Amino acid sequence: MDIQSSNRPANPQRFTSYSSRSRVSPDGTKKTFSPTLIIVIFSLIILSLGAFFILTSKGKEDSQGEESATSSTTTESTKEEDETDQTQEEEANETIDTSDKEEDGEAEDGASSEDFSQSDQQVGDKSIKAVTIVSLDHKAYDGFLRIVFELDSDEASLVTSNLNTSSNLISLKFKGISSDNSIVSTGNGLDLKGSVVSTIFHEVTSEENTSRYSIGVKKATGFYLHTLSDPTRVVLDIQEQDVENGDSEEFSFSQESQSFEGNAGGNVITISGLSYSNQGSVFRIIFRLGTVGTGSIPAASAQIVDFEGGKAVKLVMSNMSSDWAAQGNYDEDYTDSAVTGMKGSFASNTSTYYIRINGSRDYQLYYRTAPAQLIVDVKR
């Protein structure tokens, strides 16, 4: 093994004796290394290397520990963030849920008590044309029910409203309408519960570029017609009232014949529209009644009969002046498990309807006076 000086001469000496090793320095002096010294030096080198490896290993362990701690901290942080996000989401959902009934005036541009009136009201611009009604929605707040019509235009076309206190109807007329895509098709309506508003009815009209809606209320009440933007909406806020159900002459469900005399003074009853809906346990058909002169409820009878190879509830209403549906030979199929359709006719001041049912079913005939309606419920 050669041991060389870091300042070796041009011609280094090779050492062959293992008892002692020497070299000649540049000044000619011979240097000798003791074996003991060599052992000590090697021992120190080995100890130094050992210490280095130990420190290096310890550093790696500490680094891994820090990374683990960092990872754990990150996980905990992420978990906390997830929990925070979940809490915020739950709070948002709770807000959405509870906003179904908010404090009076807390709705977007909500009506205050002084805004409500029973006077005629209008909004919009008659110069706005070719407007589409995109949707219709309704929502209950403390103190009022809100009905919203969304439009596809930057501004609302002309909309007028008025309250008929004798029939308890709030009428809405939209001008400049090219298309109406609301959930309530023409000649049909929505039956509402738990409100002074009982129905939202989409009227049939012969007026061009016009949509008409009638809002049935259980008693005369104030309303507020206004608009909102982004998107453009026509809003009708209707002031809630403490009202009774208004039902009368209500029979229990059965398959027996049912009838009542009504209170019409002559042939004064009109039917301006009808609606039908699945109410869960029953399928409900509502005939909206009007009057000419005095009287409000027609004489009516119902019974289950054979009809067109199946069964039907035959409904006959007397004291009629006109009937929009029956005079138009109403005939429509329904997609329901209990009621499959209805067919109507009109003759001699009498409206006759055959409500097609799937087998013999219990049904119920009754009327409401506020607003005036004749109703048939069929068990599903």
Q: What's the burial of 368, exposed, middle or buried (CB within 10 Å: 0-12/13-18/19+)?
A: buried
* pLDDT for position 257: 94
- Average pLDDT score over the chain: 77
* pLDDT for position 51: 63
Query: What DSSP state is assigned to residue 51?
Result: H
The mean per-residue pLDDT over the stretch 126-142 comes to: 94
More confident residue, 266 or 66: 266
* 224 falls within a domain: yes
| Residue 192 to residue 197: CA distance in whole angstroms | 7
Is residue 19 very low, low, confident or very high in pLDDT (cuts 50, 70, 90)?
very low
Q: Which of 23-27, 93-97, 118-122 has the lowest mean pLDDT?
A: 93-97
Has residue 58 got a pLDDT over 80?
no
Q: Which of 185, 214, 239 is the last residue of a domain?
A: 239
* pLDDT for position 64: 52
Q: Which of left, alpha, beta for 338 (phi over 0: left; psi -120 to 50: alpha)?
A: alpha
* pLDDT for position 312: 97
CATH number for position 170: 2.60.40.3500
Same structural domain, 311 and 366: yes
Q: Around 342, how many Cα atoms within 13 Å sit in the side-chain half-sphere?
A: 27
**In degrees, to the nearest 5, what angle opens at C-alpha 176 toward C-alphas 174 and 177?**
70
* pLDDT for position 243: 63
| Closest C-alpha among 149, 144, 318, 136 to residue 221 | 144
| Residue 224 to residue 121: CA distance in whole angstroms | 8
- Answer for the pair 318, 271: CB distance below 8 angstroms, yes or no: no
* 16 falls within a domain: no
The mean per-residue pLDDT over the stretch 40-46 comes to: 71
* 27 falls within a domain: no
Q: What is the pLDDT of residues 350-365, one digit of tens each?
A: 999 999 999 999 999 9
Is residue 54 very low, low, confident or very high in pLDDT (cuts 50, 70, 90)?
low
More confident residue, 336 or 277: 336
* pLDDT for position 86: 42
Same structural domain, 215 and 252: no
Is residue 216 very low, low, confident or very high in pLDDT (cuts 50, 70, 90)?
confident
* 108 falls within a domain: no
The mean per-residue pLDDT over the stretch 182-202 comes to: 83
Query: What DSSP state is assigned to residue 157?
Result: B
The mean per-residue pLDDT over the stretch 192-201 comes to: 84
The number of distinct structural domains making up the chain is 2
Same structural domain, 194 and 158: yes
What is the DSSP annotation of 72-139?
HHHHHHHHHHHHHHHHHHHHHHHHHHHTTS--TT-STTPPPGGG-BSS-EEESBTT--SEEEEEEEEE
Q: What is the pTM (predicted TM-score) of this model?
A: 0.52
| Residue 271 to residue 250: CA distance in whole angstroms | 20
Residue type, 310: G
* pLDDT for position 373: 82
Q: Which of 239, 262, 284 is the last residue of a domain?
A: 239
- Show the domain range for 269: 247-379
Q: What is the pLDDT of residues 232-273, one digit of tens each?
A: 999 999 999 876 544 544 568 999 999 988 888 788 888 877
Q: What is the pLDDT of residues 280-306, one digit of tens each?
A: 889 989 888 876 544 578 999 999 999
Has residue 221 got a pLDDT over 50?
yes
| Closest C-alpha among 139, 137, 172 to residue 157 | 172
Q: What is the pLDDT of residues 98-118, one digit of tens each?
A: 234 444 445 666 667 789 999
Q: Which of 239, 263, 291 is the last residue of a domain?
A: 239
Same structural domain, 277 and 209: no
End-to-end CA distance of the chain: 107
